[in-house]
Amino acid sequence: MWTRKFWKAALERMIRAGAAGVLAVWVVGDGFMNAFDVDWQNALGVFLGSAAVSLLLSLAGGTVSGNGPAFNNDEIVKPGP
């Protein structure tokens, strides 16, 4: 779990979860996405909150499976540089 590959996989999951969280707020919030009217401070907060949840899930998955950030062995991170 403490390998570079594990953290790379976990970081990818965090970015995807953060982006999905922000997109969900934009779509569900007002149904209209305008980059000029976005409250970027709140968007960053949603992104970081979603990313933090993803990181916690990756860490929990790594302790359960021992092979990667997934709870099952669907995503196996092989040890190495």
Tell me the pLDDT tens digit for each residue of 41-73. Answer: 988 999 999 999 888 888 887 766 666 766 666
Indicate whether 35 pLDDT > 80: no
Tokens of 23: 């997109």
Do residues 2 and 78 lie in contact, with contact meaning Cβ atoms separated by under 8 Å?
no
Q: Is 68 exposed, middle or buried (0-12, 13-18, 19+ CB in 10 A)?
A: buried
Q: Answer yes or no: is pLDDT of 30 > 80.
A: no
pLDDT of residue 64: 65
pTM reported for the whole predicted model: 0.73
Backbone phi, psi, residue 76, to 5°: -105, 125
Question: How confident is the model at residue 15, as a pLDDT?
Answer: 92
Phi, psi of 66 (to 5 degrees): 75, -5
Stretch 14-34: mean pLDDT: 80
